[in-house]
Structure 1
Amino acid sequence: MSAVQVVDGARVRTGGVAGVNPVAKLGASALIAVPLILTLDVVSASVALALECVLFLFASLRWREFWLRTWPVWLAAPLTAVTIALYGETSGAVLLEWFVVRVSEGSLALAAATFVRVLAVALPSVVLFVTVDPTDLADGLAQILRMPARFVLGALAGLRMVGLFLDDWRALELARRARGVADRGRIRRFLGMAFALLVLSIRRGAKLATAMEARGFGAPGRRTWARESVWTARDTVFVLLCVLIPVVAIWAAVVTGSWNFIGTAG
């Protein structure tokens, strides 16, 4: 499942989905998710999830990294299903009723469909974007989709600051511990550190904006790019293969009679 090489001391993903243009991954994740949002049934979501598992094998991710990256999805899916089961629209025989909780055959069916659909919609997005380099994505958005360079570069600069926020949080925590500030009261300490990080972020953002303006990032006219982003035949084939996932899933739901348009679900 993993294909990683070390280039100049850095780990670089190679082969499989990792070599696909980030714009193709962005489009593929949208094409997979949008059709599945239109229906709420177990069949379409299950078929889509099964086909996506084949895609995950070529994602250039180690199994441990796969679980570490996707654990929020695996946590959110059952929590969402439990909520639907307990408080969803009642239909069929009522199996359990207590105060505002009412579990019925219909709510359990919706809960199962919701559980699988959350996995089918969220997992591809997480897995595909794990293999995306922010700079490559910015190059693709500006060169292939022709999005405004000012917006793309600003978003890229902001995204690059996320790692610095984590370092700043650790530095603030160590500094406050060394000074004996807010040793007690986790909530008070958290709020104080959050406010300090907010102030630091605003200052850093202002300096970054000034530096980018000084270097001509906001200048009018056509700009050049250090790396060329090219759409290849492999990207087209990848998008077409990803389109087959929702098409086959919806076809299976219609054939089996389980198609349940979201506007009439329940």
Structure 2
Amino acid sequence: MTSWLGRRDATAKLLAALVVTAAVVTTLDPVASLTVIGTLLVLTPSTGVPLGALWRRGWPILLSAAGIFLFTVLLGAKDSAVVAHVAGLDIRENAVGYALRLLAVGLPGFLMFATIDPTDLADSLVAHLRVSPRFAIGALAAFRLAPLLADEYRLIRLARRARGTRAGIGSSLFGLLVAAIRRGIRLATAMEARGFDRGGARTVARETRFGWMDALVVALGITLAATVILLKFART
């Protein structure tokens, strides 16, 4: 990718996202979660991903956050402070905290992986984290095949309807699982036949460098994570 964040090393982006996510998981403070969400939204233009594409990929996160919010409002514990009254319902701090935390947990990885090419990720993991090439290549294959699952699921449901069979979600998901296992077995056999499972030292086709701009990405992640921890204790 040609954007600023897209040109950064995949390992740097992965580490930054992991650090921020780990910090957010430790707190339910809405202010801390809002800080993470606001900061990442400001950085969104640097990803170079169109807003329409981000919305198409990210709407499940928003839907999940809304579901958790409604569930907590209706059935959650009543010992949390009330922050607002809407349509006769008490909106409590824990409901807001759970919803915002889900967004703050999902957004770092979502934005980072939107700017990471699977091949760059595999090369970076091998070069900088000394990950086993066998694992890195397997992860690369999984990333490449993941987008096919949605199309595979749609085709399974259409095929069942064409045969006059009830296209239930459970049976369709089971068919998708069977198809994914078969595809994985064929892919593993093909990769072994091409020497991907060969022992010994391996060479890399593209050298990856970890520069100071990549270190800056990690530093930004650590700074944001530290801010979350400080807000957590400051508001305790």
Q: Give the TM-score normalised by the residue count of structure 2.
A: 0.84
Q: How many residues align?
A: 231
Per the alignment, residue 96 of structure 2 pairs with 112
CA distance in 1, matches of 2:170, 2:74: 34
Per the alignment, residue 221 of structure 1 pairs with 200
CA distance in 2, matches of 1:181, 1:147: 46
Q: CA deviation at 1:120?
A: 1.6
Tell whether 2:163 aligns with 1:181. Answer: yes
Q: CA deviation at 1:198?
A: 4.1
Q: CA deviation at 1:116?
A: 1.8
Cα deviation digits, residues 34-53 of structure 1 (max 9, x gap): 11211211222222222222
Within-5 A mapping of 1:80-229: 80-91=68-79, 108-169=92-153, 172=156, 180-182=162-164, 185-187=166-168, 194-229=173-208
8 A contact 1:42–1:116 mirrored in 2: yes
Q: Do the aligned partners of residues 176 and 230 (structure 1) sit closer, same or farther apart at CA in structure 2, a change above 3 Å counting? A: same
Q: CA deviation at 1:222?
A: 0.9
What is the one-letter code of the residue matched to 1:21? D
Q: Which has the larger radius of gyration?
A: 1
CA distance in 2, matches of 1:216, 1:236: 34
Per the alignment, residue 25 of structure 2 pairs with 37
Cα deviation digits, residues 71-125 of structure 1 (max 9, x gap): 111111121122223333332689xxxxxxxx76xx7111112222222221121
Alignment partner of 1:219: what SS? coil
**Ranges in structure 1 where 5+ consecutive residues have no aligned partner:** 1-12, 95-102, 260-266
Q: Do the aligned partners of residues 194 and 19 (structure 1) sit closer, same or farther apart at CA in structure 2, a change above 3 Å counting? A: same
Decide which of 216, 224, 227 is 1:245's aligned counterpart. Answer: 224
Q: CA deviation at 1:191?
A: 5.7
CA distance in 2, matches of 1:170, 1:91: 44
Q: Do the aligned partners of residues 210 and 90 (structure 1) sit closer, same or farther apart at CA in structure 2, a change above 3 Å counting? A: same
Decide which of 73, 85, 91 is 2:61's aligned counterpart. Answer: 73
Alignment partner of 2:79: what SS? coil
What is the one-letter code of the residue matched to 2:167? R
CA distance in 2, matches of 1:26, 1:142: 14
Tell whether 2:41 aligns with 1:53. Answer: yes
Alignment partner of 1:80: what SS? helix
CA distance in 2, matches of 1:63, 1:155: 27
CA distance in 1, matches of 2:124, 2:38: 29
CA distance in 1, matches of 2:81, 2:157: 54
What is the one-letter code of the residue matched to 1:46? L
CA distance in 2, matches of 1:78, 1:194: 25
Q: CA deviation at 1:202?
A: 3.2
What is the root-mean-square deviation of aligned Cα atoms in Å?
Answer: 2.7
